[in-house]
């Protein structure tokens, strides 16, 4: 059975980079006037030439967002279950070679975190773990997921790539969505940043969303980590290709795209390419124009002012008050952090900012009463 690897092999990174950089104003104008932009149009929208068209791109992106999603913006919060990791990634504080204190939450600690988050009003949870198959793998999820699920209306996870059968089982345990970012679609750069552990297997990760689609996972999250490769434009285009591939084959699933940019962390690397804030807006608008139905996410990696200005344009989901360490909500222990968030506002402040912008903060993404098809 074909996977995105087959499509990826047809995509030449160097050629795509040159094509994106060669786009001109007329290409951007054609892409902007298209009802359903093609991949070639997407290259124009991501190109340097599109920088002069930010205003019309944002206007169209906002119109499409309101048409498709109304004023609703979902609020979610990450819950870090563990900072154990059996990988070495140059850009991450949880890397196994970093000498930080390691912790995996037990039943009581998870319950305390859940209490704290419910008290703040959250009903939509993103579970995050380092990648440690043996200690934070399926047995751990079987033990803890049902109790967490019972307390929240929707549950997503950022977890190490698993098999299709394991994803199908996670769905029966109450999981609604899985986010798995490729980090970069440039194979040699990927190899330079993933130095030890299972994550070194570029293709196992690349094919993860195919396995998620086949397992019938309701929501699949994609993204690249901006700053790893020397071209954020090309990585964004690869994410777009990945999205189009998946939407065509696993059309029952919903998709989300996130735009993480490198943030300071223990032992972190310097970005190889800089995406400034205007360029981040350009990328967000380009995705909205390419796919009006995709959900776009902006996390607390970005500043409060930037989020307040950009969310009303095209964003569907925002995190709030994120703590990036296990036990971050009930007992704040900064030495366990994965990275430093930029927007540290309380959840009610983020919700208030959304309301002031005329948006509707949505705390509950789904009601368990409505059931899920397993
Ligand atoms: S990015 Fe993920 S896999 Fe890599 S060190 Fe961090 S937690 Fe582990």
With a cut of 70, say whether residue 266 has pLDDT above it. no
Mutate to test the pocket of ligand 1, among 94, 127, 192 (most ligand atoms within 8 A of CB): 94
Distance CA 56, CA 63 (A): 11
In whole angstroms, what is the distance from residue 298 CA to residue 318 CA?
Answer: 5
Tracing tokens 């970093």 back to the chain, one arrives at 98
For ligand 1, atom 7, which residue shows the shortest CA distance? 130
- The pLDDT tens digits of the residues spanning 150-182 come to 999 999 999 999 999 999 999 999 999 999 999
Beta bridge partners, 231, equal none
Q: Please state the atom number of ligand 1 nearest to the C-alpha of residue 95.
A: 5
Taking CA atoms only, the protein residue closest to ligand 1 atom 5 is 95
Pocket of ligand 1, beta carbon within 6 A: 85, 87, 89, 92, 94-95, 130-131, 199
* Span of 228-242, 333-347, 353-367 with lowest mean pLDDT: 333-347
Q: How many angstroms is it from 34 CA to the middle of ligand 1?
A: 39
Residue (of 201, 215, 148, 208) closest to 179 by Cα position: 208
Residue 374 has pLDDT above 60, yes or no: no
Q: Which atom of ligand 1 is nearest to the CA of 129?
A: 7
Per-residue pLDDT of 111-134, as tens digits, reads: 999 999 999 999 999 999 989 988
**Nearest CA residue ID for atom 1, ligand 1:** 92
Distance 5 CA to ligand 1 centre (A): 22
pLDDT of 267: 57
Helices (H), 121-186: 138-149, 164-172
**Cα separation of 357 and 355, whole Å?**
5
* Domains present along the chain, CATH in parentheses: 72-271+298-364 (3.20.20.70)
The CA 191 to ligand 1 mean position distance, Å, reads 14
Give the closest residue to 175 by CA, choosing from 217, 139, 133, 224. Answer: 217
CB 194 within 8 A of CB 203: no
Q: Which atom of ligand 1 is nearest to the CA of 92?
A: 6
Q: Share the mean pLDDT of the chain.
A: 94
Ligand 1 geometric centre to CA of 85 (Å): 6
- Cα(145)–Cα(126) distance, rounded to whole angstroms? 12
Out of 81, 85, 128, 183, mutate this one to test ligand 1's pocket (max ligand atoms within 8 Å of CB): namely 85
Sign, Cα dihedral of 25, 30, 33, 34: negative
Distance 89 CA to ligand 1 centre (A): 6
Percent of the chain exceeding pLDDT 90 equals 84
Query: Is residue 279 classed exposed, middle or buried when 0-12, 13-18 and 19+ CB atoms within 10 A define those classes?
Result: buried
Residue 51 predicted with pLDDT over 70: yes
Contacts of 106 (CB under 8 A, 6+ apart): none
What are the pLDDT digits (tens) for 270-305? 888 889 999 999 999 999 999 999 999 999 999 999
* CA distances (Å), origin 26, targets 6, 139, 252, 295: 32, 55, 36, 28
pLDDT digits (tens, 9 = 90+) for 202-240: 999 999 999 999 999 999 999 999 999 999 999 999 999
Ligand 1 pocket test: pick from 130, 132, 263 the residue with the most ligand atoms within 8 Å of its Cβ: 130
To the nearest 10°, the Cα dihedral for 273, 309, 178, 88? 30
- Atom 2 of ligand 1, residue of closest alpha carbon: 130
In ligand 1, the atom with minimum distance to the C-alpha of 85 is: 8
Q: Which of 95, 133, 198, 324 to mutate to test the pocket of ligand 1 (most atoms within 8 A of CB)?
A: 95
The pLDDT of residue 68 is above 80: yes
Question: For residue 222, how far is its CA from the centre of ligand 1 (angstroms)?
Answer: 16
Give me the pLDDT at residue 331, please: 79
- Kindly state the helix (H) or strand (E) to which residue 33 belongs, with its residue range: helix 25-33
- Per DSSP bridges, beta strands 194-196 and 219-223 are unpaired
Check: CB of residue 107 under 8 Å from CB of residue 73.
no
Nearest CA to ligand 1 atom 4: 89
Atom of ligand 1 at shortest range from CA of 83: 7
């Amino acid at each position: 059975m074909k996977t995105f690897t087959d499509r990826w092999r047809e995509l030449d990174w160097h050629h795509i980079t040159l094509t994106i950089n060669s786009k001109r104003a007329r290409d951007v104008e054609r892409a902007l006037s298209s009802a359903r932009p093609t991949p070639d149009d997407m290259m124009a929208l991501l190109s340097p030439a599109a920088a002069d068209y930010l205003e019309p791109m944002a206007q169209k992106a906002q119109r499409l967002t309101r048409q498709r999603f109304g004023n609703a913006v979902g609020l979610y919060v990450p819950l870090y279950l563990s900072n154990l990791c059996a990988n070495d990634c140059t850009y991450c504080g949880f890397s196994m070679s970093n000498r930080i204190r390691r912790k995996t939450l037990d039943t009581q600690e998870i319950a305390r975190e859940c209490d704290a988050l419910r008290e703040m009003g959250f009903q939509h949870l993103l579970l995050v773990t380092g990648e440690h198959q043996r200690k934070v793998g399926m047995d751990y999820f079987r033990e803890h997921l049902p109790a967490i699920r019972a307390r929240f209306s929707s549950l997503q996870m950022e977890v190490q790539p698993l098999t299709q059968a394991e994803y199908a089982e996670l769905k029966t345990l109450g999981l609604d969505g899985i986010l798995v970012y490729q980090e970069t679609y440039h194979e040699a750069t990927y190899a330079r940043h993933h130095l030890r552990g299972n994550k070194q297997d570029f293709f196992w990760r690349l094919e993860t969303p195919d396995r998620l689609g086949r397992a019938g996972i309701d929501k699949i999250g994609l993204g690249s980590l901006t700053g790893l490769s020397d071209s954020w434009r090309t990585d964004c285009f690869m994410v777009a290709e990945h999205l189009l591939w998946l939407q065509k084959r696993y059309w029952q699933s919903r998709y989300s795209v996130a735009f993480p940019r490198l943030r300071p962390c223990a032992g972190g690397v310097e970005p190889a390419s800089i995406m400034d804030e205007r360029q981040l807006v350009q990328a967000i608008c380009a995705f909205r124009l390419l796919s009006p139905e995709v959900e776009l996410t902006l996390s607390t990696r970005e500043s409060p002012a930037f989020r307040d200005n950009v969310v009303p344009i095209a964003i569907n989901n925002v995190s709030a008050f994120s703590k990036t360490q296990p036990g971050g909500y009930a007992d704040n222990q900064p030495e366990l952090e994965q990275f430093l968030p930029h927007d540290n506002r309380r959840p009610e402040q983020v919700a208030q900012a959304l309301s002031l912008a005329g948006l509707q903060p949505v705390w509950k993404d789904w009601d368990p009463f409505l059931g899920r098809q397993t």
